[in-house]
Chain A
Amino acid sequence: MSSSVEAITVLSSDGDEFKITVSAAKLSKPLNWMLEDVCFSDDCDEVPTIEVNSKTLVKVIEYCEKHAPRANSGASDSDAEELKKWDIEFMKMDVKDILFHILMAANYLHMEGLYDLACQTAADLMKGMTVSQIRKIFHIKNDFSSEEQEQLRRQHPGCSFD
């Protein structure tokens, strides 16, 4: 059953060690299961590896630590308001370097809140943009042939490409 320790150590896919408090780790379903199944103690030499790279894991843990108190105890409206502001600041990150990896990690770690937040951030980046702006933001190569491109242009008379 759950352990007496306050924090556990996890390994990133790059092999770096990170500390995460137990209450924060509970935000992830797989980590929570692990906590229930394995008794962590100070002399426990078992360090679970998380298939997320170090750079991303730092951000994920930062998110967990910030959200854990609220998730565990419930919070007042003003706290929720403040947390929302924090989320917006937290999500100001490079799309290719981090956001994409955060999405994958939130999916892998079954973290609904972070997953929704990252999806919303990605969606907001698309809103009101033109096709070529979106390609630039998300570093996507246009893989339509010129014929397909022409067909799309005809099919979407109301949309601008540039």
Chain B
Amino acid sequence: MTLDLMDLAVVSMVCSSWRDACQDPCLWGGNIFDLTKWTRNRRIPTLSSKTVGLLLSLLNLSNGQAHCLIFQFQLYLDNHTFYNVAKRSPNLKRLVLPGWVPDITKNGINLALEQWKGLESLTVTNTLVAPHFLKAIGKYCPNFSELKLTCHLTRNLATTMAKHVPKLKVLSVQSVRVNKSALVYVLKKLK
């Protein structure tokens, strides 16, 4: 694509026929919403609220056809935003979470994952929230098959994985601290 997402957002505001054109599925199939790249673009404000605003409007424009969403590590998300993002991307297959999500509750995770039924791959960056995500995934996402951890693999996390996502096919623990017995446990238990 020769126009980036920021350009598309602008182009979609020129007139109504251009807006229609911007909603064409051929522009959005397999499109990757990589917020880490946005921050390198000096035209995009680094403030979380504005990044989220832009993300929501682009997701609106894509008519729910986004497949891959990569949050930047420092992005702040609350339950409400998280749910709004999920609602606008029901066909999401791959999700990379931001680093620190203190304001997302178990309930918020459940509500969002309920929208993302087709989710296949998740990257979690925080040991504390990971179990909550895995529980929700076990409940709502039958095709889930790939988990990447960029946080400690603890015994607790291992137990949750075995219980809630037993059909996992790929587990990536590249350059993270791993509890050896947790890893052995996971490898034994996963189908």
Do A and B share a complex? yes
> Nearest residue in B to A135 (C-beta to C-beta)?
B14
Residues of B within 8 A of A134 (CB): 10-11, 14
Find chain A residues with CB under 8 A from B175 CB: none
B101 at the interface (CB under 8 A from A): no
Given the contacts A144-B15, A159-B13, A128 and B2 also touching, CB distance less than 8 Å = no
Give the contacts of A123-138 with B (CB-CB under 8 A).
123-124, 126-131, 134-135, 138
Would you call A157 an interface residue if the criterion is a C-beta within 8 Å of the partner chain's C-beta atoms? yes
Q: Which residue of the partner chain, among B2, B7, B10, B16, contacts A143 with CB atoms under 8 Å? A: B16
With contact pairs A123-B2, A128-B43 given, residues A159 and B16 touching in the complex (Cβ less than 8 Å): no
CA distance A157 to B50 in the complex (A): 6
Contact with A along B82-118 (1 / 0, CB 8 A): 0000000000000000000000000000000000000
In A91-128, which residues have CB < 8 Å from any B CB? 119-120, 123-124, 126-128
**Dominant secondary structure at the A interface:** loop
Which residues of B have CB within 8 Å of A138? 14
Contacting residues, chain B, for A129 (C-beta < 8 A): 10
Please count how many residues in chain B sit with their CB below 8 Å of the partner chain's CB atoms: 23
Q: How far is the CA of A160 from the CA of B71 in the complex (A)?
A: 23
Q: Report the Cα distance A152→B57, complex, angstroms.
A: 9
Question: Which of these, B15, B43, B51, contacts A135 with CB under 8 Å?
Answer: B15
Q: Tell me if A127 and B60 are in contact (CB < 8 A).
A: no
* Interface flag for B182 (CB, 8 Å): no
Q: Taking A123-B2, A140-B18 as contacts, is the C-beta distance between A152 and B13 under 8 angstroms?
A: yes
Mark contacts of B46-65 with chain A using CB atoms, 8 A cut-off: 1 yes-contact digit, 0 otherwise. 00011101101100100000
User: What CA separation (Å) do A127 and B7 show in the bound complex?
Assistant: 6
Q: Is A73 located at the chain interface by the 8 A CB criterion?
A: no
User: Across the interface, do A159 and B9 meet the contact criterion of CB distance under 8 Å?
Assistant: yes
Residue among B6, B44, B45, B51 with most chain A CB within 10 A: B6
**A158-B45 CB under 8 A given contacts A120-B2, A123-B3, A126-B7:** yes
Among A123, A142, A152, A158, contact of B44 (Cβ-Cβ < 8 Å) = A158
| Chain A nearest Cβ from B4, distance in angstroms | 8
In B15-73, the 8 Å CB interface with A consists of: 15-16, 18, 43-45, 49-51, 53-54, 56-57, 60
A146 at interface, CB cutoff 8 A? no
- Smallest Cβ-Cβ distance to B11: which chain A residue: A126
With a cutoff of 8 Å between Cβ atoms, the chain A residues found around residue B44 in the complex are 158
Known contacts A123-B2, A131-B14, A155 near B7 by CB under 8 Å: no
